[in-house]
A and B are shown apart, each in its own frame.
Chain A
Amino acid sequence: MASAISVSGLHKSFGRTHALDGLDLEVSPGEVHGFLGPNGSGKSTTIRVLLGLLRADAGGVRLLGGDPWRDAVGLHRRLSYVPGDVSLWPNLTGGETIDLLARLRGRVDRGRRDELVERFRLDPTKKARTYSKGNRQKVILVAGLASDVELLVLDEPTAGLDPLMEAVFQQCIRELRAEGRTVLLSSHILAEVEALCDRVTIIRLGRTVETGTLAGLRHLTRTSVAAETSAAPTGMRELPGVHKVRVDDRRVEFDVDTEHLDAALRRLAELGVRSLRSRPPTLEELFLRHYGDELAGDQGEPGPL
């Protein structure tokens, strides 16, 4: 089956700024695909190209088998878009805004709409100008989730939501996946991506640096190990692929590249393991590893989360 989204070698410049510099993105039908990158790396620009709001300078872009610039209207019948930073019509109520956007996409399911309003605890009678950031976000989320579409394009959809609403959102996405819908989820909340996504694409400076399943990506990175041994833990530092070794009497903690995990564990066994904790790399560590040099250069901006 053809890809739901297929982007290859996408370039886009604004004046002298190269926002996208050969970006690739593949999203298969039925998957929830995480789209990660630091601020200003080109996530929203990519999404706006996918929506036909911006025109690609170069590169191939296919969305649901069509050209997003030429076939915009036809394609938009089959997708929902939820931006993270939305401005609503100040004197329309939340309910009116939801109905407007849902009707424009066609096929309004009253029951589903009301159920979502209920689940997100949204008061639909308030004028948009009086909503808080989180409530504005709920309006656009409900409008996006209420439509019966094949593809959801979500650009930091939970910005401003509280943890309870975040949980509701994750539940909704799981339901959509179970129904076989495709989701492109751009997010800064790595825990959210980790909980929801089958595959992720990580971009940086307008270029794709990593793409694959979470399990696959973990192979590329390190596992954290903490152990207590009978003998003093010596010789760990000399092992290949072992990093950040901290020894405290009989306790040792270190990170190890996945391909060298086996050798490291053998060495531990020789020392006599009395307790062992190991943790697979989190997405955050994965992410930070890709941007580690940026962090080293600029301590002022810690990674997201």
Chain B
Amino acid sequence: MTTLAGTGGLVRFILRRDRVRLPVWVLSISVSVLGSVASFASTYPTAADRQARARVLDSPVASLFVGPGYGLDDYTYGAMTAQEMLPITALAVALMSIFLVVRHTRAEEESGRADVVRATAVGRHAAAVATLAVVGGANLLLGVLLAVALPLSLEGLSPGGSVAFAAALTGVGLVFTGVALVVAQLSRAARAALGAASILMAAAYLLRAVGDMGGGALSWLSPFGWATETRAYVHERWCALALPGLAAAMLSVAAVAIGGRRDVGAGVLADRPGPATGPPLLGSPWGLALRLQRAALAWWTVSLLGLGLVYGGIAEEAGELYEDVSAIAEYLERIGAADAADQYLALTFFVSALIGAGYSVQSALRLRGEESAGRAEPLLAAPVSRWRLAGSHLAMSLGGGVVLLLAFGLGAGTTRALSAGQVSELPRLLGAALAYAPALWVFTALATALFGLLPRASGAAWAALAALAFVGFLGPLLRLPDWAYDLSPVEHIPRLPVAEFTPVPLVLLTLVAAGLLAVGLAGFRRREVGAT
């Protein structure tokens, strides 16, 4: 078929471009799963430990974070793996698929590189099909890796269950490969495609969580629900794997069909004309940074506000559940004993701070993105100092982090105040959330220091955040040594509202942030600027 001409060449081209990126995605996901699963043996050595763990998870609220709870009455390592690892890993697999697909479809078109490729003897459908082949292949490879390695990583994981677990993950990956392929047809901007696909992913995840909380019917509408409904390691239902296969096939066919009808570079949704003159805001680097980052900040704020509302609303119930369980109890010991709901809330503030740090890093690294796209140059060729250019985006990162914490505190405080019937909860929790601001600033400052001194390695700020989030979430499970916690700025914040407020760590973290910022800015002032 001529519309597929050149597909093989494009597959090789994508593999060549992503020879580092693809293995990093596949290996980091599989190693995280295998490492966590291997740690179960030491964390929950006896059946009694596992049963205690199962009791915590036997609640509607738990479904928000883990699976629907198959096999809780006989909580084997297998049931534990499926229940606690499947939903979160499925999110990672979905993200991998979305990022890779958009990168090789819409991003290529937006940059104009696709024109050059399509002007050669390459067919209309080749790019979409080649992307499908590579990303689908990455998902299959991940599945095979896990299916083979899971039984080896922990005794008691059956080969059959491991195949079901791995196939469920691959299924989610293939569905979101299809989703991203379709979404990439709609808008001209790669950023918009990424955003839309991520929102669909979050919605599907929430649909599964809400469905599992109440009976499970809704879960069947979500790809994440299909994954948990394979009931890996408990009572495998292989027919549930047909759904993702079917959905992925239909989405891919739809994407290819839409792609074959539209113009290269064009979206299905047309661009509207904008203002002919710049609003007064667009007269300074600050205004430009606000304009460039405001949409992202708005999305982050709404997400954290929503998360806060949910966490605040379920604090009472969740706190009681978590109280008497070994692994969580151990975690809570690090915080200090107190009111159950407060303990739970302290945990959620910690989690929200780690999420918010994602914004801090993303927002600060916008500086690097603008520089490597060549858009720092026209500003620096105008009377804009390096300080002001960097400061404009850093203000968004530093200030935006505070906005996010306030949004989360406002959400949690509002629902908590309503359910506890005490208005005073609102200011108390708002303050508790705000205490994490210096920790977020350290992340902003770390990204800035990398940007100033080692611009090509700026992305390492993400690696640092991922490593510290790993410590934060899985540290207690893996019994990491204390120095691992000491590295993380988030760990130094007193766990309000449980712990007592002490200003010293906050002041110290602020000083660390200021120091890193100064180093980064001095480096940026001194180094050369270029689109490389």
B188 part of interface (Cβ distance < 8 Å): yes
Q: Are B274 and A125 in contact (CB under 8 A)?
A: yes
Which A residues between 62 and 104 are near B, CB-CB below 8 angstroms? 72-74, 76-77, 81, 83, 85-93, 95-101, 103-104
Among the stretches B177-185, B198-206, B376-384, B487-495, the one at the interface with A is B376-384
Chain B residues near A93 (CB, 8 Å)?
273-276
Q: Are A53 and B288 in contact (CB under 8 A)?
A: no
A55 part of interface (Cβ distance < 8 Å): yes
State A85–B531 Cα separation when bound (angstroms).
11
Q: Are A130 and B277 in contact (CB under 8 A)?
A: no
Closest to B387 in A: A73
Partner of B189, one of A77, A85, A91: A91
A243 CB to closest chain B CB (Å) equals: 42
B275 CB to closest chain A CB (Å) equals: 6
Q: Are B375 and A96 in contact (CB under 8 A)?
A: no
B257 part of interface (Cβ distance < 8 Å): no
Partner of A77, one of B274, B277, B383, B531: B383
The list of the 7 closest CB pairs from A to B, nearest first, reads A99-B278, A93-B274, A81-B381, A103-B283, A125-B273, A104-B382, A96-B278
Closest to B385 in A: A73
B263 part of interface (Cβ distance < 8 Å): no
A34 part of interface (Cβ distance < 8 Å): no
Q: Are B380 and A51 in contact (CB under 8 A)?
A: yes
Chain B residues near A98 (CB, 8 Å)?
278
Known: A73-B385, A130-B188. A53 touches B374 (CB 8 A): no
Q: Are A89 and B275 in contact (CB under 8 A)?
A: no
B291 part of interface (Cβ distance < 8 Å): yes
Chain A residues near B374 (CB, 8 Å)?
85-87
State A46–B202 Cα separation when bound (angstroms).
49
Chain A residues near B292 (CB, 8 Å)?
89
A37 part of interface (Cβ distance < 8 Å): no
| Cross-chain pairs A/B with CB under 8 angstroms, 17 sampled | A51-B380, A52-B380, A54-B529, A55-B528, A83-B377, A87-B374, A93-B273, A95-B278, A96-B274, A100-B288, A104-B379, A105-B383, A124-B277, A126-B273, A129-B110, A129-B188, A130-B271
Chain A residues near B511 (CB, 8 Å)?
none
Chain B residues near A53 (CB, 8 Å)?
377, 380-381, 528-530
Chain B residues near A130 (CB, 8 Å)?
188, 271
Closest to A47 in B: B381
Chain A residues near B273 (CB, 8 Å)?
93, 123, 125-126
State A33–B422 Cα separation when bound (angstroms).
75
Chain A residues near B385 (CB, 8 Å)?
72-73
A221 CB to closest chain B CB (Å) equals: 35
Chain B residues near A54 (CB, 8 Å)?
528-530
Main secondary structure of the interface of B (DSSP, over half): loop
Contact-size category for A: 35 or more
Which A residues between 130 and 163 are near B, CB-CB below 8 angstroms? 130, 140, 143, 153
A119 CB to closest chain B CB (Å) equals: 15
B424 part of interface (Cβ distance < 8 Å): no
B292 CB to closest chain A CB (Å) equals: 7
Q: Are A95 and B375 in contact (CB under 8 A)?
A: no
Q: Are A103 and B278 in contact (CB under 8 A)?
A: yes
Chain A residues near B373 (CB, 8 Å)?
87
Partner of A95, one of B189, B276, B283: B276
Q: Are A76 and B275 in contact (CB under 8 A)?
A: no
Closest to A117 in B: B276
Chain B residues near A92 (CB, 8 Å)?
274, 278, 282, 291
State A18–B206 Cα separation when bound (angstroms).
57
Closest to B376 in A: A53
Chain B residues near A129 (CB, 8 Å)?
110, 188-189, 271
Chain A residues near B381 (CB, 8 Å)?
51, 53, 76, 81, 83, 153
Contact-size category for B: 35 or more
State A112–B377 Cα separation when bound (angstroms).
24
A82 CB to closest chain B CB (Å) equals: 9
A106 part of interface (Cβ distance < 8 Å): yes
B277, B283, B374 — most chain A CB neighbours (10 Å): B277
Q: Are A104 and B188 in contact (CB under 8 A)?
A: no
The interface of chain A, by Cβ under 8 A from chain B, is 48, 51-55, 72-74, 76-77, 81, 83, 85-93, 95-101, 103-106, 123-127, 129-130, 140, 143, 153
Known: A99-B283, A100-B283, A104-B383. A127 touches B274 (CB 8 A): yes
Chain A residues near B530 (CB, 8 Å)?
48, 53-54
Chain A residues near B276 (CB, 8 Å)?
93, 95, 124-125
Q: Are B380 and A86 in contact (CB under 8 A)?
A: no
B284 part of interface (Cβ distance < 8 Å): yes
Chain B residues near A97 (CB, 8 Å)?
278
Q: Are A125 and B378 in contact (CB under 8 A)?
A: no
Q: Are A86 and B189 in contact (CB under 8 A)?
A: no
Closest to A98 in B: B278
B392 CB to closest chain A CB (Å) equals: 11
Closest to A126 in B: B273
State A53–B277 Cα separation when bound (angstroms).
29
Chain B residues near A76 (CB, 8 Å)?
380-384
State A98–B273 Cα separation when bound (angstroms).
16
Chain A residues near B291 (CB, 8 Å)?
92
- Contacts A73-B385, A93-B275, A124-B277 known; 6 new A-B pairs at CB < 8 A: A48-B530, A53-B377, A76-B383, A92-B282, A97-B278, A100-B287
Chain A residues near B277 (CB, 8 Å)?
95-96, 99, 124
Closest to A91 in B: B189
A20 CB to closest chain B CB (Å) equals: 13
Q: Are A101 and B382 in contact (CB under 8 A)?
A: yes
Chain B residues near A127 (CB, 8 Å)?
271, 274
Closest to B266 in A: A130
Chain A residues near B384 (CB, 8 Å)?
73, 76, 104
A98 CB to closest chain B CB (Å) equals: 7
State A57–B474 Cα separation when bound (angstroms).
50
Chain B residues near A83 (CB, 8 Å)?
377-378, 381
State A203–B51 Cα separation when bound (angstroms).
80
Chain A residues near B380 (CB, 8 Å)?
51-53, 72, 76
Which B residues between 304 and 342 are near A, CB-CB below 8 angstroms? none
B43 CB to closest chain A CB (Å) equals: 48
Closest to B372 in A: A87
State A98–B380 Cα separation when bound (angstroms).
15
A104 CB to closest chain B CB (Å) equals: 4
Known: A53-B380, A81-B378, A129-B188. A103 touches B284 (CB 8 A): yes
